[in-house]
Amino acid sequence: MSLSKKPWYQNQTKDSGLKEPSGYMFGPQARFWVEPERAEEFENTSDIHRCAWIWRQYVEHILAAKIKIPANQFYELRYENLVTNPIHEANCLLDFLGISMPRSRNIFLDFITQNASPNSIGNWKKELSDEQAYQVDREIGTLLRALGYDDHG
């Protein structure tokens, strides 16, 4: 849902002349990672479907890379865990990164505790129309279930 609130891939930003953080022009045009046979579909689908598609691509690439690197070089942090147990999860992340300076740890912990909101979990259920939920499930439902998100969120 958070990606859908950014202007980077939205239909309305096509031809705006603006660029996303990675340097690509805003808008729905297919990027290098869109399956070539689905490029036209990517460019003509809804914004929410496009964002689900992008999320799937991110996660599939991460999962493929995960099996190629040593376990001590990969850390999985789930958003839901971070916002429901921010101190524990933040400390685990800081430990993994080897950040031991108390000042640095405290800055991060303060930021997390001030900004972590478990109320954001499951917002998609309130924000998506039935058609949008169907599009999202069609694009990423299988992956979500494989990751343990049986109710998508």
Residue 146 counted as domain residue: no
pTM, two decimal places: 0.83
C-alpha Rg value of the chain to the nearest Å:
18
Residue 66 counted as domain residue: no
Residue 49 counted as domain residue: no
Count: domains in the chain: 1
The predicted-structure confidence for 6-28, as pLDDT tens digits, reads as follows 899 999 999 999 998 888 899 99
pLDDT recorded at residue 125: 82
| Among 63, 74, 48, 70, residue whose Cα is nearest residue 131 | 48
Low-confidence residues in the chain, pLDDT < 50: 153
